[in-house]
Amino acid sequence: MREWVTEALHGDFKTSFRVNKVLFDNQTEHQNLVIYENEIYGRVMALDGVTQITERDEFIYHEMLAHLPIFAHGSVKKVLIVGGGDGGMLEEVLKHKGVENVTMVELDHTVIELSKKHLPMVCGDAFEDPRLDLVIKDGCLFMKECREQYDLIIVDSTDPIGPGEVLFTDNFYTDCKSCLADNGILVTQNGVPFQQADELKSTMTFFKPIFAETTCYMATIPTYVGGPMAFGWGTNRVGLKDTSLEELQDRFTASGIVTKYYTPEVHKAAFALPGYVQKLVA
């Protein structure tokens, strides 16, 4: 590997990380996987040349995709995570004592094994939790065959290229909807809308016919450059995104969970969308 690794996800815009040490660089059954160390971001994992996670700021992404919908809902017991092989999302979800079962569906078992080996600071001992039901399978196929009902579905996917492309289709979202409990929530990662406007616009277009309440919320994650990142939000329980600050504070305090980014105030602010994102959502 070269001294610098360059990501060209956005075509006319590139980002580069200096590589201090390579921990793994090889082809898995499904994709090229690289884990290396960087002075600023710590350990970094990339799939097919696209940065997925860094040790330094992973907490922002994982806290906002996990804690925000759980605290908004108020009584999540059964969770489905599609993707998330690094285990960071799983670890955050399992911090909630009220969560009784988590099904995690990951395509690439090698990502899980290498994350446990090289990214223990991200996943902790989440993969050993007895509440976990780990399924190694294509997420799209799993959803099509699924007959379970979940309070929360988190789509912690890669970008809509390669293996992750099928997780951004209308059929996939419809299958997710059919597996949600009556008051359930679907949240998705939808990239950086300043750079990937079509990704968010497409998801919102697919959400609108199947959910009573559709929007996105946002968080700023240094690794994903080009502006704040968007997370899709779909539910048939209208008003969940407007859960009061007082209620969120009560639930957060009662949970005893310590966070580094998420707060009830940040939760509320995350739904305040800038004008250019409002147009994409509308």
Beta bridge partners of 82: 105, 155
pLDDT for 160 beyond 60: no
Same-domain pairing of 45 and 85: no
The answer to whether residues 145 and 41 belong to one domain is no
| Same structural domain, 47 and 152 | no
Q: How many domains in the chain?
A: 2
Q: 171-225 pLDDT, tens per residue?
A: 899 999 999 999 999 999 999 999 999 999 999 999 999 999 999 999 999 999 8
pLDDT at 162 over 80: no
**131 and 224 part of one domain:** yes
Q: What digits encode the pLDDT tens for the residues 119-136?
A: 999 999 999 999 999 999
Same domain, 22 and 120: no
CB atoms within 10 A of CB 79: 26
Question: Are 149 and 274 contained in the same domain?
Answer: yes
Q: How far apart are CA 129 and CA 134, in angstroms?
A: 10
- Of all residues in the chain, what percent carry a pLDDT higher than 70? 96
Tell whether 256 and 126 lie within a shared domain: yes
- Predicted model pTM: 0.94
**Predicted confidence band at 168 (pLDDT cuts at 50, 70, 90)?**
confident
Structural domain boundaries, residue 128: 58-281
Q: Are residues 239 and 100 in the same domain?
A: yes
C-alpha torsion angle, residues 22, 24, 28, 31 (rounded to 10): -30
**34 and 87: one domain?**
no
2 vs 59, residue with greater confidence: 59
Is 133 considered catalytic here?
no
Residue that terminates a domain, selected from 32, 54, 76: 54
Q: Are residues 118 and 242 in the same domain?
A: yes
Residue 217 bridge partners (DSSP): 231
CATH code: domain of residue 72: 3.40.50.150
Candidate list 156, 170, 182, 242, residue with the active-site label: 156
Is residue 166's pLDDT more than 70? no
CATH number at residue 14: 2.30.140.10
160 and 176: one domain? Answer: yes
User: At residue 164, does pLDDT exceed 90?
Assistant: no
* Statement: residue 169 has pLDDT above 90: no
pLDDT at 28: 85
